[in-house]
Amino acid sequence: MAPVSLIATLSLAFGIGSALSTLVSADPIHVPITRRKTARVLDLNAELFRLRQRYRKVNTLSPPINSSGTRRRAAVGGIPIIDQNSDTSYLGIISVGTPDTRQLTQQSCLITKPQRAAPQDFKVVLDTGSSDLWLANNGCTNCPSSTPTFNPSASSSFETTGTPIELNYGIGNATGVVSLETVQMGGFTIDDLTLVSVDTTFGILTGDVSGILGFAFQGLAATKAVPFWQALINTNQLTSPEFSFYLGRAPSGNDVPDIDGGVFTLGGTNETLFSGDVEFVDMPPTERNWVLSLTGLTVNGQNIAISTGSLALASIDTGTSHIAGPTADVQAFWAAVPNSGPSPVGPGIFNFPCTQELSVSVSFGGRLWPISIQDMIIAPEQSDSTRCIGAIFDLDANSNFNPDDGNPAWIFGDGFMKNVYTVFRADPPSIGFAQLATNAGELGTPSASLAPSVPATNSAGQSDIITQTATSGAASATTAIGFVTSSVARAPGITATTSPGQSDNITPSAATATTALTFTSLCTVLIVSVVINLL
């Protein structure tokens, strides 16, 4: 989605090496995604308005802002995804900022050395249709009261450029300041990543979502900055210059609060989630969207005559829920569906008898990919429950679309992507699809952890063990997606350098020792426990 819609699924596998430029490969680690499912409010007019606005504009800002620097090196990573609002949004979790880590705290006469502080964690939309990263900050006005906000003052690595920016999303807008910050996802870290710290937003955020993380190309970024995923490639953190999605489908009914959402893999693929080979199709020249040329569209075995050239360009977009295309092609499609017609819901929306057979397939230059009937029906018409609203819309209705402005004519969102395993590859620029494994839902959302502890070296030379755990159902904010990015635990017997020339030896049985000290200051005779690392 060019900045709008919520999305996506993830599962990340990663290995860690040095913080230098050489890559240390590691096998992928795949972690389940949690889907949050709530009752869905159907407002197709608003949704289509947002979609049309999204693909009819280009945000601009001054010169490019480059991101550089890493703290960790990982080869492949799997990150859990949260599916929100019955497949209308898929979310991931990122960790932001660098807190002070060696402060002493004093409460009365008790002095303790606390555990290492954690960055701030936020749920964000994973969006292959936009490129910017933005978060609502703690000074945000008009943000929903449920929105967790970013506190820049709590991070020692936050830096503002002072450059204001406004992001327009059709259904709303967000304004803030272009900033630089340390951002982590599933073990991958980029320092000085461009982040828009948003202080005013209207009509965009819902629930506990704090922002959007874009996965399109730099040319689409309103900030003109290098996106997170491209920064990972530029700093040699990924084994392969690609990322992939398996998007889970919500079950019928609205009585399940938290369900698995799918798997997102950075730096490779999860071969347990698909069968056969990934069919890659080269992209036409572009520096903005992930696009392919739509070459085939069939309904009930009938080939539909569709446009070619710029009117065939299709964006593969995790930030969009449905499928939409140019007027002539969409009308030709629905004309081939018996007894279909325009919906009273609004322009560009069609319905058909709910009992009507509807077998749909699409091609992007290779094989035909079928789309499940589950993803072709939005809901029964409120005015006539025997007729169902179809999931392919006219993108051009009530818009001033210009096929020469560089925007894609077709949008294939989650309604299509739930039917295939999708791989986005940067070099050569291409998109690949594969048939889902028959048990993809089970393999993509395991109840037990598939991620072993992975040794890591941070920028200070510290040797840490990153532990990953899988979760099912509800979980706390820091572990809801099934892995730990901010909680660091040293393994038994590991020698770790805490600062230049100083080392700590952590034993299996005791990580701390308590020493009795007698103070004669504010306390009369008081025993104070001091927690210290064993030397």
Do the Cβ atoms of 181 and 196 come closer than 8 Å?
Answer: no
Q: What pairing do the DSSP bridges indicate for beta strands 120-127 and 209-214?
A: parallel
Q: Cα 247 from chain centroid?
A: 11
Do the Cβ atoms of 184 and 128 come closer than 8 Å?
Answer: no
Q: What is the mean pLDDT, run by run of 10 residues, along the chain of 535 residues? A: 40 31 39 43 62 52 40 48 59 86 43 59 90 96 93 96 84 88 92 97 85 94 96 93 89 53 88 95 93 98 95 93 93 97 93 96 96 94 94 84 77 95 96 92 39 33 30 28 27 33 36 34 32 35
In percent, the amount of the chain with pLDDT more than 70 equals: 58
Do the Cβ atoms of 159 and 172 come closer than 8 Å?
Answer: no
Do the Cβ atoms of 470 and 447 come closer than 8 Å?
Answer: yes
Position 52 scores a pLDDT of: 66
- Tokens 């919500």 belong to 250
Q: Is the dihedral of CA 55, 341, 333, 88 positive or negative?
A: positive
The amino acid at residue 331 is Q
Do the Cβ atoms of 129 and 289 come closer than 8 Å?
Answer: yes
Position 198 scores a pLDDT of: 97
Helices (H), 176-325: 228-234
Q: Name the 3-class secondary structure at 46.
A: helix
Q: Mean pLDDT of all residues in the chain?
A: 71
Catalytic site positions: 127, 317
**How far apart are the two ends of the chain, measured CA to CA in Å?**
53
Do the Cβ atoms of 75 and 22 come closer than 8 Å?
Answer: no
| pLDDT tens, position by position, 144-191 | 999 999 999 999 999 999 999 998 755 568 899 999 999 998 889 999
The listed CATH number (3.40.50.300, 3.30.420.10, 3.30.365.10, 2.40.70.10) that belongs to domain 277-438: 2.40.70.10
Which of 5, 195, 186 has the alpha carbon at shortest distance from 81? 186
Do the Cβ atoms of 455 and 27 come closer than 8 Å?
Answer: no
| pLDDT tens, position by position, 12-61 | 332 323 333 333 333 444 444 445 443 343 467 666 666 666 665 333 33
205: left (phi over 0), alpha (psi -120 to 50) or beta: beta
